Structure 1
Amino acid sequence: MVQFKNRYMVMDVLVDSNRETGDVDPIVLSGFNVTKAIKDSIQLNFGECGLASSLLSFQVKYVNPITKICIVRASRDDHKRIWAAITMVRSIGRCPVSFNLLDLSGCIRVCRRKALECDETKFE
């Protein structure tokens, strides 16, 4: 029996601080918002076939709205496509954002440790 292999990406969501705060609501990061933005980017850049093949194991596993760190799971075969689509995300809702890859691993335990380290450094 063949085991299904995944890749986990620890991402830092960078919110544009130069945006005008007049009529734009402040961003509230949630798993739903991040998932929708990534799926829209996959569909826009790789089409319906790319979206369908990427959705087999794609999942946003963890989102921290305070420190703006998230963990994304993807299959080993499609992780480069999802990573490329994530770098092309320019906004969540109407708020401009960009993503920064902090760690890429095949094990969620290692990604969880890296996310905790990043959370601790942001709180210090």
Structure 2
Amino acid sequence: MVRFKNRWLLVELLPIPAPLPSQTARTQEDITNKQIWAALKQSVITHFGDTGWGAVGSSLTIKYFSPRTNLCIIRVARDPHKLAWASVTLMTTIDGRKFIPHVVHVSGTIKQAQLAAIRHNREVVARYRARAKTPAGYQDSYEEFLQTSAQEIEALQD
């Protein structure tokens, strides 16, 4: 028996601020897994046609998205994972809002994607702390955020 082999893409969706104040009413918290999936589907069809969607479509799922951190974990079959990776990179909008997708990590197991997501969150918080020039022993709200985000990410199942 042959098992289904996956690749897991850890993607950071960096929002581009709207030029007009009236367009900022909708935030990233409005975005759902379904909207990300639809935008990714449209990107695959636009850039690789129906053949590309046929290769990727049956295995493509959005396993996790955090509007707070803008991190997304995407599962795709191993063979067409580069096609999905290219489509994520070429994606520009999700539900009318502009984003810059940044593929942070690609792995073969969900566990490695989870560890990379937790590590990425810690690096981002460390950058915020360095920018704020806080002392090492300073307690802030980031500690609680890191704990809750790590618990959310570790709760994912394959």
TM-score (norm 2): 0.72
Any stretches of 5+ residues in structure 1 without a counterpart? none
Amino acid at match of 1:35: W
Contact preservation (8 Å) 1:11, 1:70: yes
- Secondary structure of the residue aligned to 1:4 is coil
* Matching residue within 107, 113, 116 for 1:114: 116
Matches within 5 A, 1:1-124: 1-17=1-17, 19-24=19-24, 25-27=26-28, 28-123=30-125, 124=142
Over 3 Å off, 4+ runs: 120-124
Shift of 1:17: 2.8
Moved more, 46-55 or 8-17: 46-55
Residue identity in the other structure for 1:26: T
The percentage of counterpart residues that share the same residue type is 27
Deviates more, 1:45-54 or 1:32-41: 45-54
Q: Distance in 1 between matches of 2:93 and 2:21?
A: 15
Q: What are the ranges of 5 or more consecutive residues in structure 2 without an aligned counterpart?
A: 126-141, 143-158
Which amino acid counterpart does residue 10 of structure 1 have in structure 2?
L
Aligned twin of 2:151: none
Cα distance per residue 1:35-54 (max 9 Å; x no partner): 11100100111111211221
The residue type equivalent to 1:105 in the other structure is S
Structure with more strand by fraction: 1
Shift of 1:72: 0.5
The letter for the 2-side match of 1:70 is C
More relative contact order in 1 or in 2 (CA 8 Å, sep 6+)?
1
With normalisation by structure 1, the TM-score equals 0.90
More helix by share: 2
Counterpart Cα distance in 2 of 1:82 and 1:21: 33
Relative to structure 1, the CA distance from residue 29 to residue 121 in structure 2 (aligned partners, 3 Å threshold; closer, same or farther) is: farther
Deviation readout 1:64-87 (Å, 9 max, x if unpaired): 111100000111110000011111
CA RMSD of aligned residues (A): 1.6
Aligned-residue offset at 1:119: 2.8
Q: CA deviation at 1:3?
A: 1.7
